[in-house]
Amino acid sequence: QREEAAIIKGNCSNQFWGVVDVAEAEKVAKAFGQYDRERSSTSIGDSGTSDSFNYERIDIMSPADIRTKRAGEFVGYIADGKPGLFDTKFKMLDSYYPNKIPNNIPIPSIYEDKEYLNGLIEANYQNIFQETNELLRSV
């Protein structure tokens, strides 16, 4: 199943990550890539001044930066986006709309219609399975 999940994820055009484990953070950092940073140094001696330049490869975003995201903070990439990579924080609703959302909205029980929902899920799964097989047969 892990391989199938990787194939599905690889075909996603837009992806974003919030709080992730160490292994996933390393994968994301690797996918974001690296860039070359120029470093310069100047040496002053008896014979004069010497300037030197070198380049070092730096992660665009380190695994630690990705792992330490807090609630509402995300990194990701957007296919054909300009820019393609992002590091952002969502505006939280309670601070953005403090008087618009009531606090006492009842949450409906998911167990009342569990059998009905399970039937819908199974029917949807069978439909997707059948459509996928039909697509694969035509390839």
- DSSP line for 19-32: S--HHHHHHHHHHH
Q: Which pLDDT score, from 0 to 100, does residue 93 have?
A: 58
Q: Which pLDDT score, from 0 to 100, does residue 109 have?
A: 63
Domain ranges of the chain: 1-38+53-103, 106-139
pLDDT band at residue 106 using 50, 70 and 90 as cut-offs: low
Q: Which pLDDT score, from 0 to 100, does residue 86 have?
A: 83
Q: Is the pLDDT of residue 98 over 60?
A: no
Q: How much is the pTM?
A: 0.49
Chain-wide mean pLDDT for the chain?
Answer: 80
User: Across residues 18-41, what is the average pLDDT?
Assistant: 89
Token pair recorded at residue 89: 């924080």
CB 42 within 8 A of CB 51: yes
CB 43 within 8 A of CB 32: no
User: Across residues 125-138, what is the average pLDDT?
Assistant: 85
Place of tokens 């590091």: 87
CA-based nearest residue to 53, from 37, 71, 35: 37
